[in-house]
Chain A
Amino acid sequence: MPDRGVQSVVAERSAELRAVLRDLYQKSRGAEFGLTVEGFEQVVQEVIAKYLPANAPRSGVHDLCTSLRIEELALARACAAGHERAWEVFLTRYREKLYNIAGYIAKESSAARELADSIYADLYGTNTREGKRNSKLASYTGRGSLEGWLRTVMAQEFVNRYRRQRRTVSLDEESEEGTQFAAPNLEPAVAVDPRVETATDQALAELSSEDKFVLASYFLDSRTLAEIARALHVHESTISRKVDKLAKSLRKRILSGLAKQGMSRRQAEEALEVDVRDLRVNLRSRLVQETASPAFSEKKAEGSG
């Protein structure tokens, strides 16, 4: 729970940390938005408690504090607190960006406007809790830029909306799309040799997280090389080479694992070919996410709440 973390961090904070926080307060320009030193320190302590364990070393706390987007954090928290001047600055800086981001995510003008308006309402805090506005901006912690955070929040809202709409699509629309008459998506009925599964699991376990991310993004999510490269901040050709190399080496490792389990080369090759045929189709349909699994933020909210 954040409160316990806050208390312990507050109890242990040194004069050095206090000096750092004072310095950060000056840089944050929180005073312009009615944020007091104590209020600001409380905000930063909450962030520290959220991301670091209570017994985190001072250097870690210092590094986290100095890496925060302090000015944007102060602005967001001041907006969440309903400070009028802060809202003016926020709207001046981010109003146009909100609509641009919504346009990029939704790809369609009316949907984009609707999405942006919806997010704006959440940011402003139309819901009230115990007489106080509950603004989404209060959850911004300054780890990334405020603009990037807005983009992520909007993407999350867009995905949630899309899934909600998919669940409530009318029968007429389904008929027009031909969904009702589509062939049932049968699970592959081919039995897989357990030795193949074992060898595959072993080969996958040897991959690094980043390699698995690249493979999953490319082969499961059908992301383009450019998209993956952008997410990992490398060049597109690097991802291209990596995907090719990983696919080949994975196959080689599985074959090697099967050979260790007594299969001949030919048997191993055949075992790799004879199984799940319609996996690609299943994976694409997986993206539609007809299941009622909540988005991660909701899970997170449940988890943290």
Chain B
Amino acid sequence: MLRLQLTMADLPKIAMQRLHEKSTAGGMHPDPNLISALVENSLPGEARAQMVQHLAQCADCRELVFLSSPDQAATLPATAPAPSSWLAWPVLRWGAAVAAVVVVVAAVSLHRPTARSFTPSGAIQMTDAPIAKEKAASAPVPEEKQELAAVAGAAPARPAVKNGGLANDGGQRLDQLKKQSSRVAASPMLAQKSQAWGGKVADDHRDELAKTQTVEVTAAQVQATVESASTETSQMVPGRAKDAAAEPASNMGGGIGGGVAPRLTAAPRARPAMLVPVVAPRWTLTSDGTLQRSLDFGRSWQTIPVASQASFHALAASGKDIWVGGSKGALYHSTDAGQDWTQVQPVAAGQSLADDIIGVEFPDALHGQLTTSNKETWITEDGGQTWRKQ
């Protein structure tokens, strides 16, 4: 706890005495409904002003307010997101620190030799490298994606470029990589991700594949990428109102579906962007069933629109994989940290889930279970494709 009494100006004792005498005023005290509303910052202006006026004079009610305030971990979800100012001191302070890191990283990267002749055996050379480089450097990235990239610590990664590579048929190289990825993928879900990833690369860069520059992407890197995705899927955190699991270190250069440059185009060894600190988003559900996300360690929260009618009671979050469940069987899944949501309708034996979902647990990407308000348990073993009821 921050306690600055030693350095802070002290109050004149006579002022404390008079304040104390005014703090023992009796009169009508607010009921617990109003106190809890004040604690949750849900009182309108006038009612709040009246409450604060009473609290300034009533030590008993102040004591209740402080006891009723949940601890740090629980408070932040319960409160409405505070309006954040970009010019606030904490932002400037951290901004300055991040800017210093960026400057150092930029200086280091500029002084490195640009041509890399290191080509390990088994390297796969691709022709779409400059495209990725240009894309990462100049293509406009949507604001939301930039934010997410910052969250995942994914600075736009640029590939190592080498002139005079092998054939310029980038499509074939992509196919090779996709095949290789699918061989390594341990699960259908992972394979699906790899497909999407490869597909994304192809879509993004197909129009520029005719260029002659090449990029090195080793089989080992592909393996590492897929393995890092496996690690990600094993970090599902069940329950409600939790921080999302931090991205694995190997995933910091841009993850699958990260919305920035695809990992396939990155050269991990050479990227100083790896130094950028990872900020895992925190997720929570407010007491009125709204999903919120914090990108600054819980200091401020933003509401994530999922479905206008649904009120959520439970969530499971890990990296970019978020599951939320709520009233009347509302179940939504996002694989991109809350940008896009897919409604999942669990059906077992021809019967749809219509009760309130009060618990969501996904220990991994495939296996999950829902607990409903009438104590049923719905289980999936294929990432929500099929369900059975217990």
Contact = CB atoms under 8 A, between A and B. Distances in A.
19 contacts: A143-B36, A152-B39, A152-B68, A155-B64, A155-B68, A212-B19, A213-B62, A216-B19, A219-B11, A220-B20, A230-B75, A233-B79, A235-B299, A237-B89, A275-B13, A282-B20, A283-B16, A287-B59, A295-B60
A92 B12 contact: no
Given A152-B32, A215-B11, A289-B60, 4 more contacts: A152-B39, A156-B32, A230-B75, A279-B13
B31 A300 contact: yes
Interface in A208-238: 209-210, 212-213, 215-217, 219-221, 223-227, 230-231, 233-237
Interface string B148-184: 0000000000000000000000000000000000000
Contacts of A143: 33-34, 36-37, 42-43
Interface string B345-373: 00000000000101000000000000001
Interface string B44-67: 100101001101111111111111
A279 B17 contact: yes
Question: Closest 3 interchain pairs by CB?
Answer: A296-B29, A145-B287, A144-B36
Contacts of B89: 237
A158 B66 CA distance: 13
Interface in A222-259: 223-227, 230-231, 233-237, 240, 243-244, 247-248, 250-251, 254
Contacts of B30: 296, 300
B2 interface: yes
Contact of B1 (A151, A224, A237): A224
Interface of B: 1-4, 8-20, 22-23, 26, 28-44, 47, 49, 52-53, 55-72, 74-75, 78-80, 82, 88-90, 287-288, 299, 311, 313, 327, 356, 358, 373-375
B56 A219 contact: no
Interface of A: 29, 51, 63, 67, 69, 71-72, 88-89, 92-93, 101, 104-105, 139-149, 151-153, 155-156, 158-159, 192, 196-197, 200-201, 203-204, 209-210, 212-213, 215-217, 219-221, 223-227, 230-231, 233-237, 240, 243-244, 247-248, 250-251, 254, 272-273, 275-277, 279-280, 282-283, 286-287, 289, 293, 295-297, 299-300, 303
